[in-house]
A = this chain, B = another copy of it.
Amino acid sequence: MVRAGLTPERLTRAGAELADEVGFDQVTVSELARRFDVKVASLYSHLKNSQDLRTRIALLALEELADRAADALAGRAGKDALTALANVYRDYAREHPGRYAAAQFRLGPEAAAGSAGVRHAQMTRALLRGYDLTEPDQTHAVRLLGSVFHGYVSLEMGGGFSHSAPDTQETWSRILDALDTLLRNWPPTP
């Protein structure tokens, strides 16, 4: 009997691919076992359970996203950086919808602490250094950017903007213009 060479890492990568193909919430231990041509119970030597698998996929996606973001931000500032970071999220979601959904997966406090979530916040903060914001407005802006990026990408992927003109690419550009304007003219606290 030839050993399949299962490891948590290989299972996680295969799980991520599976998520992109069939959707994150259709990711199943059974299907994963099928792909490795192995019995289901065998996976339980490498994964705690089904939840563990999903968590690992989520952490993988967060890492990949953070790596791409770091890459995109290198050497850029101001609106150039804003556009680059925004496009990282949007492009990743389009290329890897299952992984993107995984990145939104509600992590337990332990997993969240060890995740790349922190890097994401730091990078958004770095981006904002190109604008003239001081605390606490910088934090507010970090949260705004996170909301817009995530919200736009979710709605676009979910088909929320599907059936209407103008096309979503134009809206995306204009939203980035608008955010840039807003960050350069952040309203003072009333």
Contact = CB atoms under 8 A, between A and B. Distances in A.
A139 B164 contact: yes
Nearest to A190: B177
Contacts of A155: 143, 146-147, 150
Interface string A151-176: 11011001111001110101100110
A166 B139 CA distance: 8
Oligomeric state, in number of copies? 2
A152 to B, nearest CB: 4
A148 interface: yes
B158 A106 contact: yes
A174 B140 contact: yes
Interface in A89-145: 104, 106, 112, 117, 136-137, 139-140, 143-144
Task: Say whether chain A's binding surface is mostly helix, strand, loop, or mixed.
Answer: helix
Contact of A171 (B104, B139, B166, B182): B139
A122 B183 CA distance: 28
A28 to B, nearest CB: 14
A36 interface: no
A6 interface: no
B144 A148 contact: yes
Contact of A143 (B144, B152, B186): B152
Interface of A: 25, 104, 106, 112, 117, 136-137, 139-140, 143-144, 146-152, 154-155, 158-161, 164-166, 168, 170-171, 174-175, 177-178, 180-182, 185-187, 189-190
